[in-house]
């Protein structure tokens, strides 16, 4: 591990807005803020929104700035990236934002029933070869039910037509309400927060449209995979495995 990463990790240990819990610790000790986020961390009753796979935390911090009467928690396993948003939030004195370093597969261990109102999935890896790892698969949707309010909203913002289509078909197959959707966000008039991350701007500069979908997740009812065949994305995306032979070094 580089000296720079070690310094970031050491500094993050001092941040009051960062919680780092390896599964071994979680299994042994549990998580003290589960069911207590409002009372013991945010000190208010404002609704909580999670960003899963928050990366550098740009979107989490942007949402916290834009909606001071809501609480936001960015979740990712990459601590060196998370450092950027966590430090920015500390420097700006944002008290409605926190960061949780853990694997998303363990997310239900950190929140109690009905503790979270919304989720944001911003530019998640579409996992075209592994349905179980897609963040809108039944594997994850069933986990979200442990802590989302009934009909809690899941916002999906993506460059991937594959992930957008998969999520839309999952919603149709399972009769999940979809109040908003578009395959070209910036050509629509949907009321989506005007926050663009560094990589989103890169995709836009390459002429890739941004897709957006908001679905509601009821707490009851069996969820199953749609099984539909979906065309694969025909380009390579930043920080993801190769999708095609198309050159992206332009």
Each as own residue / partner, the long-range contacts of residues 125-134 (CB below 8 Å, 24 or more positions apart, any chain) are: 125/53, 125/240, 126/158, 126/160, 126/162, 126/163, 126/166, 126/233, 126/240, 128/162, 128/232, 128/233, 128/243, 131/225, 134/163, 134/166
C-alpha–C-alpha distance, residues 41 and 187, integer Å: 39
- For tokens 């601590």, what's the residue? 79
* Catalytically active residues, by annotation: 125
Largest pairwise CA distance in the chain = 51
Give the number of other Cβ atoms within 10 Å of residue 32's Cβ.
9
CA count, 13 A, side-chain hemisphere, 163? 25
Tokens 């700006």 appear where? 92
Q: Mention every residue, 6+ apart, whose C-beta is less than 8 A from residue 42.
A: 48, 71, 95, 96, 98
């Amino acid at each position: 591990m580089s000296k720079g990463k070690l310094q970031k990790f050491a500094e993050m240990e001092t941040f009051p807005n960062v919680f780092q819990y390896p599964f071994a610790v979680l299994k042994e000790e549990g998580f003290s803020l589960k069911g207590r986020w409002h009372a013991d961390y945010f000190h208010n009753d404002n609704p909580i929104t999670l960003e899963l796979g928050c990366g550098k935390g740009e979107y989490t911090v942007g949402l916290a700035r834009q909606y001071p009467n809501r609480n936001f928690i960015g979740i990712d396993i990459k601590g060196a990236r998370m450092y950027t948003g966590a430090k920015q939030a500390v420097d700006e004195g944002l008290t409605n934002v926190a960061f949780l370093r853990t694997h998303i597969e363990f997310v239900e261990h950190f929140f109690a029933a009905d503790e979270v109102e919304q989720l944001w999935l911003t530019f998640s890896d579409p996992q075209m070869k592994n349905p179980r790892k897609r963040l809108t698969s039944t594997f994850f949707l069933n986990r979200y039910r442990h802590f989302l309010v009934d009909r809690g909203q899941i916002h999906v913002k993506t460059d991937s037509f594959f992930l957008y289509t998969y999520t839309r078909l999952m919603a149709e197959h399972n009769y999940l309400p979809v109040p908003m959707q578009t395959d070209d966000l910036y050509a629509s008039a949907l009321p989506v927060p005007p926050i663009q991350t560094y990589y989103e701007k890169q995709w836009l500069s390459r002429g890739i449209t941004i897709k957006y979908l908001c679905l509601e997740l009821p707490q009851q009812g069996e969820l199953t995979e749609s099984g539909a065949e979906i065309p694969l994305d025909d380009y390579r995306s930043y920080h993801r495995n190769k999708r095609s032979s198309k050159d992206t070094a332009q």
